Amino acid sequence: MSDPVLGLEGASLSFGDVTVLDDASVALDGGTFVALVGPNGSGKTTTLELFAGLRALDAGTVTRPTGTGRTVAYLPQSPRFRPGFTAREVVEFYGSLIGNDVDADALLARVGLSGAADRRVDDLSGGMTRLLGLAQALIGDPPVVVLDEPTSGLDPDVADHIFEAAAAMAADGRLVLTTSHDLDAVSRYTDRVLLIANGAFVLDGSPAALLEQTAEKSLRDVFSATVAGTGREAVTVDLDDGGEA
Ligand SMILES: Nc1ncnc2c1ncn2[C@@H]1O[C@H](COP(=O)(O)OP(=O)(O)OP(=O)(O)O)[C@@H](O)[C@H]1O
């Protein structure tokens, strides 16, 4: 078997008394669309940041692609682009930063944004802004694309479009790793699901395999049953105004 493109081995990371990873290991291969799911605050964004090289572990090792050029493209949850630029200018600008001659129109077409090439980024909808982020992620043809909640706040059709674009990026041979709370889309589009809870990857498999393994009806049910089984307390919301009587 070939070496994993991304991996964690014996990984531990805490913020003060909050343990995000506790001796966790995982190996991810190219040509795969992987979803990292888990409860709020379970460590999804932090894990993506580790893979993007934006954070270091307390213990253990991170495997990332070696080589020159852009190896991991990271799209944060709320991408921001230089105000006043058009979508095409954004792609050309980032291409020039990376030192790549980019065909901006081809990249915008790849994500379905041809019609918005001359629109200023300030005038793009939320969905278009995420799509521009995907186009930007493809600059320099990185082998790994990491997406943090790329569909939060988007309508289901636009969300589907983004999942389709991400799946196509993986079908081209890349490793695409996304976080998402949209378990319906995750079931339909991804090849592999990792569920993080209590510092560990507690489930790992294709959506179909996870349903079979757990005998649950939907990934949503698998999620709830597994998270409950870890003994993790649900997030509690205190509706009291907190005022003293
Ligand atoms: N810089 C930081 N300093 C202190 N604590 C942090 C820091 N970054 C994250 N945390 C904590 O680490 C835990 C994991 O955070 P993270 O953002 O990775 O979770 P998440 O799974 O992405 O959450 P969500 O689904 O709500 O986006 C949380 O308890 C968070 O409060």
Query: What is the tens place of the pLDDT at every residue in 141-170?
Result: 999 999 999 999 899 999 999 999 999 999
Distance of alpha carbon 70 from alpha carbon 49, whole angstroms: 15
Mean confidence (pLDDT) of the chain: 90
Cβ of residue 44 lying under 6 Å from some atom of ligand 1: yes
**Residue 160 contacts by C-beta under 8 Å, 6 or more apart in sequence?**
185
Output b/e per residue, 74-110; b: 16+ Cβ within 10 A: bbbeebebeeeebbbbbbbbbbeeeeeebebeebbeb
Cβ of residue 42 lying under 6 Å from some atom of ligand 1: yes
Is the pLDDT score of 244 beyond 50? Answer: no
pTM: 0.91
Token digits for 32? 């795969």
Distance of alpha carbon 199 from alpha carbon 187, whole angstroms: 23
Is the pLDDT score of 129 beyond 90? Answer: yes
Using DSSP, state whether 41 is helix, strand or coil: coil
Q: What is the pLDDT of residue 143?
A: 94
> For 45, how many CA atoms within 13 A lie in the half-sphere containing its CB?
10
How far does residue 18's CA lie from ligand 1's centre (Å)? 9
**Residue 134 contacts by C-beta under 8 Å, 6 or more apart in sequence?**
75, 111, 145, 147, 150, 162, 165, 166, 169
Is the pLDDT score of 232 beyond 90? Answer: no
Query: Atom 10, ligand 1: which residue's CA is nearest?
Result: 15
Query: What is the tens place of the pLDDT at every residue in 80-105?
Result: 898 999 999 999 999 998 877 789 99
How far does residue 42's CA lie from ligand 1's centre (Å)? 7
Query: What is the tens place of the pLDDT at every residue in 175-191?
Result: 999 999 999 999 999 99
Q: What is the pLDDT of residue 99?
A: 73
Q: What is the pLDDT of residue 243?
A: 43
Query: Atom 25, ligand 1: which residue's CA is nearest?
Result: 40
Residues 172/144, Cβ–Cβ less than 8 Å: no
Domains and CATH numbers, the chain: 1-65+145-213+222-231 (3.40.50.300), 80-142 (no CATH)
How far does residue 36's CA lie from ligand 1's centre (Å)? 14
Give the nearest ligand 1 atom to 48 CA: 18
| Ligand 1 mutation pick, 17, 44, 146, max ligand atoms within 8 A of CB | 44
Cβ of residue 20 lying under 6 Å from some atom of ligand 1: yes
* Whole-Å CA distances, 89 to 33, 95, 150: 29, 10, 22
**How would you list the strands of the sheet with 6-15, edge to edge?**
18-28, 6-15, 59-63
Q: What is the pLDDT of residue 66?
A: 86
Cβ of residue 38 lying under 6 Å from some atom of ligand 1: yes
How far does residue 20's CA lie from ligand 1's centre (Å)? 8
